[in-house]
Structure 1
Amino acid sequence: MANRYGKVETMVDTSQDEIEDLASTALAGRRPREHGPYRVLFGNEELAYRPAIIADPVPTGQQLLDAAGAHPASEHSVFQLLSNGLLEGLRPDETTDLRERGIEKFLIFRNDRSLRFELDGRQFEWGGTFISGRTLKSLAGVDPQTYGVWLEVRGADDRPIGDSEMVDLAARGVEHFFTGIVQTTEG
């Protein structure tokens, strides 16, 4: 079956081994088993995720790109979503241990570089040129219905960013965003 990148996904023979779903393992608060295969989640710049199977418990960035169908690998970057909500880029020859608790989600970008921004005082690396207000809220871990997100503007009013609004991260300097409650029930 072809994935969203047009690549036919490699199937792992799971007839003798049950697949360890790493997202379920993380939710249960337990450490994954020592051997694969493992079900991981690959997301895009909109944080839309889809599952894939990885046999190796310590895959390289290249193996992850292959499993995601991101070809050619030189035109893609892979980021690991850490349990604290931050992102960490993986080089093609760098490994990650899927047996560590909270290592179950990866973001794949069609880009040859990463851009930095700050959100609620935390530094993030991002593989895309643009990011939406809704994605910023997701990364901040806030309720998107009651929280808003703003771009700090020096010497002027901070600019609110709508959920579907795309902010260009390629502008000069590091963008600084913050979230806050926009709706109150106080009377």
Structure 2
Amino acid sequence: MNGIIGDAEDRVKDGEKHHHPHGSFEILIKGESQDEISVTFGEPDPSGRQILSKAGFVPEEDHALIQLLLPGSRLIGMNDKVDLRNKGRHVFRVFGGGEIFLFTVDDTGYQWGASKINEADLRDAAVVPEEKVLVLERDGEEAEVPAGGDIELSHTGVEHLRTRHGMITVTLDGDEKRIHPGMYTTEKLIQVLGVEAGYLLNVVEDGELIPLQPNEKLRVKDGMIFISQVPSGGSS
């Protein structure tokens, strides 16, 4: 079983600790069935065991409770206390089984209780806005996590992901191209833009045509204009 413990309704305002008007603290739990469960505690610091028990995740020892720290996360033990008065949102995940998987998003560490995580859960855990994409870095290669897609987490190591802005539009020889923003070498940019083999590449800056040199690095942004050119100097 896995699920989501949603935001606590009570928030701390102006840095002060507070609680529900009736002296109770509520969290919302979404189980495997996707049905939300409202769980209320009279005390502000229930233990991991109390949270699991009251939410119906029993036997408690068969489940892992992970608190998302937004950013980051931590595994909550059976006897660990969770302070519901603390400033910020109180967001958790519940997983069946005892194996914990590790990953990072933009160098912030996370724990997860299942070997597979989907794109929506990654966004939720790391608070990644829709305008950004998630990129998995593995074995020196990069792979974008597709919308609605899953990634398999390593059983022995730490997976590393980064976020970056989605596709931008640049122009090559008058034709629009959709690529990812970021730093490119001249050779990589020629490949990504689909420049004809053997041609040179120029970038237009302030109306001036600037040749890109071999191995030169250029940060590509939305709206940039590129012109390809045959090595002899003739325009493509």
Same fold by TM-score greater than 0.5: yes
Q: How many residues align?
A: 165
The structure with higher relative contact order (CA 8 Å, sep 6+) is 1
| Conserved 8 A contact 1:43-1:106 | no
Q: Which secondary structure does the structure 2 equivalent of 1:92 belong to?
A: coil
| Within-5 A mapping of 1:57-136 | 57-82=44-69, 84-102=70-88, 104-136=90-122
Alignment of 1:14-53 (within 5 A): 22-26=8-12, 30-33=16-19, 36-43=23-30, 50-53=37-40
TM-score, normalised via structure 1 length? 0.74
Letter in structure 2 aligned against 1:153: R
Indicate which of 152, 157, 170 corresponds to 1:168: 152
SS at match of 1:158: strand
**SS of the residue aligned with 1:106?**
strand
Mapped to 1, the partners of 2:142 and 2:120 lie a distance apart of 17
Counterpart amino acid of 1:37? S
State the distance in 1 between where 2:149 and 2:120 align.
8
Q: Following the alignment from structure 1 to structure 2, what is the Cα–Cα distance between the partners of residues 49 and 110?
A: 17
Per the alignment, residue 147 of structure 1 pairs with: 132
The alignment partner of 2:138 has SS state of coil
Residues 100 and 113 in structure 2, CA contact (< 8 A), matched pair in contact too: yes
Q: Is residue 73–residue 109 contact of structure 2 (8 Å, CA) maintained in 1?
A: no
Structure 1 unaligned spans of 5+: 6-20
In structure 2, runs of 5+ residues without a counterpart are: 170-221, 224-236
Cα deviation 1:30-75 (Å, max 9, x = unaligned): 5223984211133569x99653212222211100101221012121
Q: Please state how far the C-alpha of 1:123 moved relative to its aligned partner.
A: 0.9
**Are the structure 2 counterparts of residues 140 and 148 from structure 1 closer, same or farther at C-alpha, using a change threshold of 3 Å?**
same
- The alignment partner of 1:152 has SS state of strand
C-alpha distance after superposition, 1:2-39 (max 9, x if no partner):
xx99xxxxxxxxxxxxxxx9434247865223984211
Structure 1 residues 175 and 143: alpha-carbon distance in aligned structure 2, compared to 1, 3 A threshold: same
Q: Give 1 or 2: higher strand fraction.
A: 2
Give RMSD over aligned pairs.
3.0
Cα distance in structure 2, aligned partners of 1:154 and 1:80: 29
CA offsets per residue over residues 129-161 of structure 1, 9 Å max, x none? 2111222222232222x2111110223x31111
- Is the contact between residue 41 and residue 104 of structure 1 (CA under 8 Å) also seen in structure 2? no
Q: Say if 2:41 is the partner of 1:54.
A: yes
Q: What is the rounded CA distance, in whole Å, between the counterparts of 1:98 and 1:24 in structure 2?
A: 8
User: Aligned residues: percent identity?
Assistant: 26
